[in-house]
Amino acid sequence: MSSLNNKRVLLGVSGGIAAYKSAEIIRRLQDQGAQVRVVMTPAAQEFITPLTLQALSGNPVHTDLLDPAAEAAMGHIELARWADLLLIAPASADFIARLAQGKGDDLLTTLCLAHSAAIAVAPAMNQAMWRNPATQDNLAVLQRREVAIIGPDAGAQACGDVGPGRLLEPVAIVEHCADLFQTGSLDGKTVVITAGPTREALDPVRFISNHSSGKMGYALAEAALEAGATTVLISGPTHLTPPHRARLVAAVSAADMHAASLDALQNCDVFIATAAVADYRPNQVAEQKIKKTDSDSMLVELVKNPDIVAAVAAHKPKPFTVGFAAETEQVREYARAKLQRKNLDLVVANDVSQADIGFNSDENAVTLIWPAKEENLPQQGKHQLARELIKRIAAQLA
């Protein structure tokens, strides 16, 4: 069963009697694990109040393109970038026409223009308006632009007519939304992902580690599952909940992660190393807690850990092997050197000198370093970024 776990859905509500159903759509989206923010057109606010949808979504409702307070809190470009899916439900005939024309004269149409991920519309209108060739032409334009059209249903209408144009039931709309994320591009493939930090023990109570959150690796596991892959997530200690369909292998030290990775290589098609593996570990692990002494200094000898991703790339047969490179300077040059040194098929490079993205953040911007090309993926949520990466990796395997 597909779900909307960790998906960010921006629900656009346009004017029409079915606008009252947006309250239930929010609830059903949340049941599937989605975070929801709401944008209402002025006409929608004649049918249901922003306060209702604010209370249900748990976030302020956005209504105005030129509202300085709302822009200061979360600007409209930021809002468009926040969303994994922009769902307009109900979508009136007028809204569909304006979307087809590419208008940007109110907040919702502007968000549609600025949003680069998926858009879905759930039409709701009188049956004659639905059948009108103008509406059908507009829908054809949207379909050509890969906008998903969800519904409508047919039956008794608020105006007394009977026919097509009823908003599909909220549960069905939400199921369609979940299906949009299921690409099937890695059906039958196995993807192994390392994630999170490692801990290198000094004694029974102390260790050396780092601040990696594991978010990128967990997001990639979710995207691999959505793409239909059997997914193995080899994770260092994190506070994250693993996607329930992934096979979780818990690792603590680099040595654990190395052993688990080599174990997982049978039938592995893609190996993605996102873990922040400690480069070195203490040479000796004290059996008892190390006691403080009178000396003001202490020496700990460190020895090098195995390079897991390089070991995987040296394995025969070699899976499609992807590494990450977090750099603070000469990002592309160092990442390309890593691609060659470790014999990788792709390196995902990010500039960790920028404090607001990357390590421990929800967003990232990366450069993909392929043997013969480079591509920039602009700043976006790690879940969206993960889907973009999986899409490109699947295209290489096809």
Active site residues: 159
Tell me whether residue 223 or residue 254 sits nearer to ligand C5P (CB atom).
254
| Residue 349 makes contact with ligand C5P by CB under 6 A | no
Interface with ligand C5P: number of residues (CB under 6 A): 14
Tell me whether residue 180 or residue 257 sits nearer to ligand C5P (CB atom).
257
Q: Of the candidates 100, 308, 368, 389, which one interacts with ligand C5P according to CB under 6 A?
A: 308
Draw the binding track, 179-198, toward ligand C5P (x: CB under 6 A; -: no contact): ---------------x----
- How many angstroms separate the Cα of 8 from the Cα of each of 84, 113, 173, 190? 5, 18, 15, 26
Using alpha carbons only, how large is the chain's radius of gyration in Å? 25
| Residue 91 makes contact with ligand C5P by CB under 6 A | no
Nearest distance in Å: CB 245, ligand C5P: 23
Q: Interior CA angle at 385 toward 381 and 387, to 5°?
A: 120
Burial group, residue 306, by CB count within 10 angstroms (0-12, 13-18, 19+): middle
Q: Of the candidates 323, 364, 385, 386, which one interacts with ligand C5P according to CB under 6 A?
A: 323
Q: Report the 3 state secondary structure along 298-311.
A: CCCCEEECCCHHHH
User: How far apart are the two ends of the chain, measured CA to CA in Å?
Assistant: 25
Tell me whether residue 12 or residue 323 sits nearer to ligand C5P (CB atom).
323
Nearest distance in Å: CB 372, ligand C5P: 20
The pair phi, psi for residue 347, each rounded to 5°, is -120, 130
In whole angstroms, what is the distance from residue 179 CA to residue 86 CA? 14
Nearest distance in Å: CB 137, ligand C5P: 49
Nearest distance in Å: CB 220, ligand C5P: 12
Q: Which amino acid is at 174?
A: V
Nearest distance in Å: CB 143, ligand C5P: 40
Q: Which residues, numbered 359-398, are part of the site for ligand C5P (CB under 6 A)?
A: none
Of 279, 331, 349, 283, the C-alpha closest to 310 is: 279
Q: Which residues, numbered 221-280, are part of the site for ligand C5P (CB under 6 A)?
A: 254, 273-275, 277
In whole angstroms, what is the distance from residue 26 CA to residue 61 CA? 12
Q: Which residues, numbered 324-343, are part of the site for ligand C5P (CB under 6 A)?
A: 324-325, 338
Q: Of the candidates 307, 345, 351, 388, which one interacts with ligand C5P according to CB under 6 A?
A: 307
| Residue 350 makes contact with ligand C5P by CB under 6 A | no
Tell me whether residue 14 or residue 212 sits nearer to ligand C5P (CB atom).
212
Three-state secondary structure call for residue 9: strand
Tell me whether residue 83 or residue 273 sits nearer to ligand C5P (CB atom).
273
Draw the binding track, 129-148, toward ligand C5P (x: CB under 6 A; -: no contact): --------------------
Nearest distance in Å: CB 194, ligand C5P: 6
In whole angstroms, what is the distance from residue 265 CA to residue 129 CA? 57
With beta carbons less than 8 A apart as the criterion, state whether 193 and 274 touch.
Answer: yes
Nearest distance in Å: CB 198, ligand C5P: 8
User: What are 248's strand-pairing partners?
Assistant: 233
Of 86, 82, 91, the C-alpha closest to 21 is: 91
Per DSSP, helices labelled H in the chain are 22-31, 50-57, 68-73, 76-82, 93-100, 107-114, 127-131, 133-144, 170-180, 215-226, 254-263, 308-313, 331-341, 382-397
Burial group, residue 287, by CB count within 10 angstroms (0-12, 13-18, 19+): exposed
Tell me whether residue 37 or residue 215 sits nearer to ligand C5P (CB atom).
215
From 156-164, 287-295, 300-308, 375-383, span contacting ligand C5P (CB under 6 A) = 300-308
Of 180, 379, 208, the C-alpha closest to 282 is: 208
From 72-80, 138-146, 239-247, 303-311, span contacting ligand C5P (CB under 6 A) = 303-311
| Residue 305 makes contact with ligand C5P by CB under 6 A | yes
From 82-90, 222-230, 307-315, 361-369, span contacting ligand C5P (CB under 6 A) = 307-315
Nearest distance in Å: CB 309, ligand C5P: 4
The pair phi, psi for residue 394, each rounded to 5°, is -60, -35
In whole angstroms, what is the distance from residue 350 CA to residue 353 CA? 9
| Residue 309 makes contact with ligand C5P by CB under 6 A | yes
- Per CB under 6 A, residues contacting ligand C5P are 194, 254, 273-275, 277, 305, 307-309, 323-325, 338
